[in-house]
Structure 1
Amino acid sequence: MKSVFQHLPETVLTQILENAFQWFVVVDKDCRILYINEDYCRFLEVPRDQAIGQPVEKVIENTKMHEVIKSGIADVASPHYIKGTYMLANRVPLLVDGEIVGAFGSVVFRDMTDWKKLSSHVRTTMEKIQLTSTDSHQNFYRLEDIKGSSQAIRSIKETIQMIAPSDLSVLIEGESGTGKELFAQSIHGLSDRETLPFVKINCAAIPAELLEAEIFGTYLESKDYVKKGRFELADKGTLFIDEIGAMPLTVQAKLLRAIQEGEIEPIGSHKSKQVNVRILAATNRPIEHLIEQGKFREDLYYRIQAITLRIPPLRERMEDFTELANTFLQQYILKSGKRRLILASQTREYLQNYHWPGNVRELQNVIQAAVYLAEHEIIEPTALPDQIKQVRRKKSKQFVNLQDAIEDLERTMIQDLLHEESDKREIAQQLGLSRSTLYEKIKKHNL
């Protein structure tokens, strides 16, 4: 390789660097630009003679060249948000005699024509994925997918059925892992917007400096470039704003105007666009506390909480535990290809006594792992995480009278037998009941 470059005139190397299907930049160990090709400069709208010698962060936004020099580790095919869009960038440290002397970076586009074509194709594809990902049979949840017969869950389901046909904004409150998106999708699925887009955005998952562009879009007049935001993608449908409490105040002000006026203004544009969007928002932090701390606008709060749904944590709805556990158990038995699995009585006891700080999502993950770790047809406690087995046994329930205690014991016995045995005749014999009496009690206890 060395001999090849020795025989190449400098003019040839320059032609290669200037006409390759990529944009290049080379920096020294202090992150000052030593070389940058002309096409990259044209895109960045900076004269090359002014770029040479400048700190790279002053010429290229969101650059990570300094991180590569510091770590000495190449960063390959990494998303790079620059001038309103994501590109793929490669960053490689340059070494001489084992010492880092600089870094080399490239972006996988050659000129504006190629960039616009590929960027437009990528944006169109990503928009289609965003619009259809939650519409698929596997990913989109309906009201019947909400498991549980506790009073709290029944009440929430009834409320959803009443409010879904309206365009009322809904604030869904609940701890992490309670399934807030499931409830949001259920509302959308029962509304007149059911066949229209359900678009979601998680405010906590996107850097604050990029969130406004993601929600409202970007317009670059000089480049005739438009990136649609989630608001526009959700037009005529539903926008689900998850973790809205993490939204910066500046973006909150713009969101308030969008809700009030029914129009948005993309970054870089001076023209408003009319949008018809229903807002569903979710938070795992009490918004009232954020308002007191000056982190959330009170006027926006009143706009998004025309209806508030509070999703109880799993520890407050343990009467739903059996149905949830059995649902996840059957789901992962099918996925694992195993024929039959049941929870050992001690395993079930551990699970029921645990406080579930991660709520339904944690239960789902524990059941999934247990299915794959089970060595036989019975899931023993050895398949459970240590923190679940370390929880002490619950104290006995406090009952008002003897009849309540008998009812509870009867329900528990029938429930356990139903889980371990599918033959109702066998269960009836074990309990000393006729089959008709057993069916009556199953109905009575909603099992």
Structure 2
Amino acid sequence: MNSLEQVLDAYKACRNSKEMIEAAFESAYEGIIITDPKGFVRMLNQTYAKFLQVNVEDAIGRHVTEVVENTRMHIVARTGEAEIAQIQKLRNTNMLVHRIPITRDGKVVAVVGKVLFQDVGELHALSAKVLQLEEELDYYKGELIKHLGVKYGLEDIIGRNPKLKEVKAVARRVAPSDSTVFIGGESGTGKELFAHSIHRLSRRSSGPFIKVNCAAIPETLIESVLFGYAEGAFTGAVKGGRKGKFEMAHRGTIFLDEVGELPVTMQAKLLRVLQEKEIEPVGAVHPIKADVRVIAASNRDLEEMVREGQFREDLFHRLYVITLFVPSLRERSDDIPELVMHFLQELAQEVGVRVKGIDPEAMESLFHYDWPGNVRELKHVLEHALHMIETDQIRQEDLPARIVDGKTKKRFPSTLKETVEKAEREAILRALKVNNGDREQTIRMLGISRSGFYQKMKKYGIKG
């Protein structure tokens, strides 16, 4: 009896499976047909039969060529090669179909035909819908990025100079981490563009990007601006308190521009934020956790400020985890022609004046000028020229006088800072030469720290 019961259970299970398969076969939205190896129809679902305008019972057992026009099911049965996403014309309609051979022990035992779209127009409509959704997604991503405060990416940093390309490569490598980044360089070199780019490439890109110009905030307000304040913290405080920049940057990035201008008292509070990952609003009883990545920038020599007691050494080391030094325009004057064309296109939209280009004499003047204001100054010079222009090309007379006069001047550092930097570079090069390239002896001769030596090597592009 046990054997009989087992056979009966197996039969019931088999019948249930058959019924389930048949139900799924009939419930499918797509038209499905199955033939044997000789091309005779063995199964056909109602969806496909309705489209073909045949009865399922009449179609079963007939050769597939008698049921489906322009079919290749019998050919696939013979070749054993699947035909995927093929267009087949049926009843004056182009349809997208699969023809898939089913094999057992290397032999074709059946062929499955499946209609993906009863009209290729459906596919085109679906494709157009997907494209529209992708465009909408890109638009809203862009709007979100604008809302979060990010304006620039690495593609907005124009130039092919090797020094600039190296800085961009480092920025791309460090962006995914949460490490603190310090960006050095003269005013107008594009430090803020690098800060934006690092945030955009980071895993915090969907979070806020908050910029703070430390030099522009009065010393009496800087603590409440950075860390906020609690209700009743001082006379005139807003009811409910106010969030500071660090709290606004939660789960995002805060960019501290001109960090060298922070008062020493505020430097201590910034150090606490970097060490403890928490902020203490003015008048608050308890500190607040701050999940913030810090990017700092300055056009000042922070190491020199540390030696002079103007900047905390412990904060200096906290900020100098990863350092990027953006080259001045003097160091990458080969980028001037590309920058000029880029800015002329950009300014055509802003100023409303279009020109074909710039004549050779004017370009020569741009090459020979020292550019203390760097890329920012170049853009302003071109904007000035567009307002002065009388032809379809920028000429030498359209440029500010200081640019044209600079053409005949001997190029030399025009500020005390540049003089010091030139002297530092020459001193390092001479010391390396005297010590035959031995860096440890050079460091001892110069009397500077090892970290300071390597930072200056990087800053001045010394490869020795």
State if a TM-score over 0.5 links the two structures. Answer: yes
- Give me the whole-angstrom Cα distance separating, in 2, the residues matched to 1:301 and 1:227: 29
Please report how far the alpha carbon of residue 138 of structure 1 lies from its aligned counterpart in structure 2 after TM superposition: 10
Instruction: Choose from 133, 140, 151 the match for 2:151.
Output: 140
Match of 1:382, SS state, is helix
Are the counterparts in 1 of residues 341 and 357 from structure 2 also a CA contact under 8 Å?
no
Please report how far the alpha carbon of residue 320 of structure 1 lies from its aligned counterpart in structure 2 after TM superposition: 1.1
- Name the counterpart of 1:284: 299
Match of 1:346, SS state, is helix
What is the identity, as a one-letter code, of the residue corresponding to 1:296? F
- Name the counterpart of 2:441: none
Superposed, 1:168-207 pairs within 5 Å as 168-207=179-218
Instruction: Choose from 325, 338, 343 the match for 2:340.
Output: 325
Q: Which has the larger radius of gyration?
A: 2
Please report how far the alpha carbon of residue 225 of structure 1 lies from its aligned counterpart in structure 2 after TM superposition: 2.7
Please report how far the alpha carbon of residue 337 of structure 1 lies from its aligned counterpart in structure 2 after TM superposition: 3.1
- Name the counterpart of 1:354: 369
- Give me the whole-angstrom Cα distance separating, in 2, the residues matched to 1:335 and 1:347: 22
- Give me the whole-angstrom Cα distance separating, in 1, the residues matched to 2:149 and 2:311: 35
Are the counterparts in 1 of residues 231 and 241 from structure 2 also a CA contact under 8 Å?
yes
Match of 1:238, SS state, is strand
Are the counterparts in 2 of residues 134 and 198 from structure 1 also a CA contact under 8 Å?
no
- Name the counterpart of 2:169: 158
Match of 1:288, SS state, is helix
Are the counterparts in 1 of residues 210 and 249 from structure 2 also a CA contact under 8 Å?
yes
- Give me the whole-angstrom Cα distance separating, in 1, the residues matched to 2:332 and 2:266: 36
Distance of aligned partners of 1:217 and 1:395 in 2 relative to their CA distance in 1, 3 Å threshold? closer
Query: Alpha carbon RMSD of aligned pairs, Å?
Result: 2.2
- Name the counterpart of 1:50: none
Are the counterparts in 1 of residues 381 and 400 from structure 2 also a CA contact under 8 Å?
yes
- Name the counterpart of 1:232: 247
Please report how far the alpha carbon of residue 217 of structure 1 lies from its aligned counterpart in structure 2 after TM superposition: 0.5
Tell me if 1:384 matches 2:395. Answer: no
After superposition, the C-alpha distances for 1:158-206 in whole angstroms (9 at most, x for unaligned) are 1011100000100000111111100100100100111110001111111
After superposition, the C-alpha distances for 1:184-241 in whole angstroms (9 at most, x for unaligned) are 0010010011111000111111111111111011113477531111000000000000
- Give me the whole-angstrom Cα distance separating, in 2, the residues matched to 1:337 and 1:251: 44
- Give me the whole-angstrom Cα distance separating, in 2, the residues matched to 1:137 and 1:192: 14
- Give me the whole-angstrom Cα distance separating, in 1, the residues matched to 2:149 and 2:263: 33
- Give me the whole-angstrom Cα distance separating, in 1, the residues matched to 2:398 and 2:150: 28
Match of 2:323, SS state, is strand
Match of 2:207, SS state, is coil
- Give me the whole-angstrom Cα distance separating, in 2, the residues matched to 1:254 and 1:137: 26
Q: How many residues align?
A: 265
Are the counterparts in 1 of residues 229 and 282 from structure 2 also a CA contact under 8 Å?
yes
Tell me the TM-score normalized by structure 2.
Answer: 0.55
Tell me if 1:307 matches 2:318. Answer: no
- Give me the whole-angstrom Cα distance separating, in 1, the residues matched to 2:399 and 2:325: 30
- Name the counterpart of 1:260: 275
Distance of aligned partners of 1:219 and 1:137 in 2 relative to their CA distance in 1, 3 Å threshold? closer
Distance of aligned partners of 1:137 and 1:334 in 2 relative to their CA distance in 1, 3 Å threshold? farther
- Name the counterpart of 1:404: none
After superposition, the C-alpha distances for 1:406-436 in whole angstroms (9 at most, x for unaligned) are xxxxxxxxxxxxxxxxxxxxxxxxxxxxxxx
Tell me the TM-score normalized by structure 1.
Answer: 0.57
What is the identity, as a one-letter code, of the residue corresponding to 2:213? N
Distance of aligned partners of 1:203 and 1:133 in 2 relative to their CA distance in 1, 3 Å threshold? farther
Please report how far the alpha carbon of residue 339 of structure 1 lies from its aligned counterpart in structure 2 after TM superposition: 4.3
Distance of aligned partners of 1:140 and 1:358 in 2 relative to their CA distance in 1, 3 Å threshold? same
Distance of aligned partners of 1:138 and 1:333 in 2 relative to their CA distance in 1, 3 Å threshold? farther
After superposition, the C-alpha distances for 1:53-72 in whole angstroms (9 at most, x for unaligned) are xxxxxxxxxxxxxxxxxxxx
Are the counterparts in 2 of residues 188 and 238 from structure 1 also a CA contact under 8 Å?
yes
Match of 1:188, SS state, is helix
Please report how far the alpha carbon of residue 136 of structure 1 lies from its aligned counterpart in structure 2 after TM superposition: 5.5
Match of 2:195, SS state, is helix
Are the counterparts in 1 of residues 148 and 207 from structure 2 also a CA contact under 8 Å?
no
Superposed, 1:25-174 pairs within 5 Å as 135=146, 140-174=151-185
Tell me if 1:216 matches 2:231. Answer: no
More displaced stretch, 217-226 vs 261-270: 217-226
Distance of aligned partners of 1:227 and 1:323 in 2 relative to their CA distance in 1, 3 Å threshold? same
Please report how far the alpha carbon of residue 135 of structure 1 lies from its aligned counterpart in structure 2 after TM superposition: 2.3
What runs of 5+ residues in structure 2 fail to find an aligned partner?
1-142, 412-464
What is the identity, as a one-letter code, of the residue corresponding to 1:330? Q
- Give me the whole-angstrom Cα distance separating, in 2, the residues matched to 1:262 and 1:242: 20
Distance of aligned partners of 1:327 and 1:269 in 2 relative to their CA distance in 1, 3 Å threshold? same
